[in-house]
Amino acid sequence: MRPLQRFERRLEGIVSGVFARAFKGDVEPIELAAALKREIDNTARILSRDRRLVPNHFTIELGPGDFERLNAYGRTLNHELANELRDHADIQRYTFSGPIEIELTQQDELPTGKFRVVSATVGTQRPQQPPPPPQPTYQPAPDPNATVLQSAPVQPPPGPPPVRRGHPQVMLEVNGRRRPINPPGVVLGRGTDADIQINDPGVSRRHAEIRLMPEGPGGVRVVLVDLGSTNGTLVNGRRAAEAELTDGSTVRIGNTTMTLRLADEPIAQPPSSGW
């Protein structure tokens, strides 16, 4: 954090504390929305030339009186604050590290009218499966009276043909046309800065991202991540913020349905700027 930003935050905390003690004003939702926007502005990290990564988990610490009053709104307040963050991120070209989560907590030392915002980056990790337990083996004791016969060596059966190394070609099919997806992935959206532009009014400017992650020798894992879109993303007919895609998986954003295809060889298609 730059010295000027630290000075602004320190000054902001001093002024907020003085007003809270002098006037005892309640914390309003619009103040929370403005503080959340400042938080992602101050913590954004450069991801690529035109993308910046911001946290997705926010804890708002409130005094007892403000917590009791605002927590009564429950999911409605969290939903509206998350929408404000998505709109701000869409304008600033931010990418959230995962689904947005907002939590209100009570801090007894905070006076009425004062609050704190703490952000964190929380990703989605795949649970690791424990290795299977070893199976006990039984070997009979040798018979000292048995006759040992020499047998001809057994030739092992021919093995499978060598597997072609390299990742399979990932294709996105829209209305019978296929578009290749190369690592690290592509952004789907209505905006001109999207890698694959979807001309659909129900699609956000930066709606979702398809990420390619190498997995094992010659393998690739395909994951779709919703970038905080307004109308959400459906994977195989179910709403999802993040989901793993396989050959034949369907993705629906707005009124547009796409199908993921995995091919052993690249498929040549004419270039297209939009769908």
Question: Per mean pLDDT, which range of 101-105, 180-184, 213-217, 231-235 is the poorest?
Answer: 213-217
Name the phi and psi angles at 24, rounded to 5: 55, 40
CA–CA distance, 100 with 32 (Å, rounded to integer) = 15
The DSSP letter of residue 155 is P
CB 245 within 8 A of CB 251: yes
- Residue 64's contacts (CB-CB under 8 Å, 6 or more residues apart) are 106, 108
CA–CA distance, 83 with 202 (Å, rounded to integer) = 16
Side-chain-side CA neighbours of residue 88 (13 Å) = 18
Q: Closest Cα partner for 54 from 183, 253, 227? A: 227
Output the furthest CA–CA distance in the chain (Å, rounded).
102
pLDDT of residue 116: 94
Residue 124 pLDDT class (50, 70, 90 cuts):
low
Flag whether pLDDT at 17 surpasses 70: no
Residue 16 pLDDT class (50, 70, 90 cuts):
very low
**228-274 pLDDT, tens digit each:** 899 999 999 999 999 999 999 999 999 999 999 987 654 344 344 45
Of 25 and 148, the one with more pLDDT: 25
Mean pLDDT of the chain: 79
Inter-helix orientation angle 29-43/75-92, to 10°: 40
